[in-house]
Amino acid sequence: MSVAYFICADVPESDENHEFVMDMDGRALARVDEGVLDHLAEQAHVTPLMQFFSMPQGEWDDYVDDIQELLDEGETFDPQVLTWFSAEDGLKTVLALIAEIDKHPELLAEPEAVIDDLETMAAILTRLAEHGIRWHLAIDI
């Protein structure tokens, strides 16, 4: 099973701003242990990346079994109402994660690939911020 993180923007597919939000690989970032990402965010004093995760309730249905397999022992799955976040807040986290990985690349198996994913996220979030568009982190399973 291949997992990838991507940005979902609060724009309809018919909007001219829709195209740039989908151009992200996100697989290297998704392979990083969430605890490592949380640690890096804590070191940088920013919101952990997974705090920006959200998904509409109806979209969980097809993935419940896959999501259950991804959970750590004792972790529970609780679908939530879709939440949107400011691009500026996400950008602050992403840029801080890049800086922390630059300082401590030994914490990751693929630091260059993860930084590539984060730099792509930063570019997307910068454009979203310029247009005042909200976003959330999503997972492609």
> Could you report the per-residue pLDDT of 86-141, keeping only the tens digit for each?
999 999 999 999 999 999 999 999 999 999 999 999 999 999 999 899 999 988 87
What gap in Å lies between CA 29 and CA 121, rounded to an integer? 10
Domain, as residue range, for 39: 4-140
Closest CA to 99 of 139, 53, 41, 51: 41
Our count of domains for the chain comes to 1
Q: What is the pTM of this model?
A: 0.80
Closest CA to 116 of 18, 8, 32, 3: 32
Number of C-beta neighbours around residue 90 at 10 A: 26
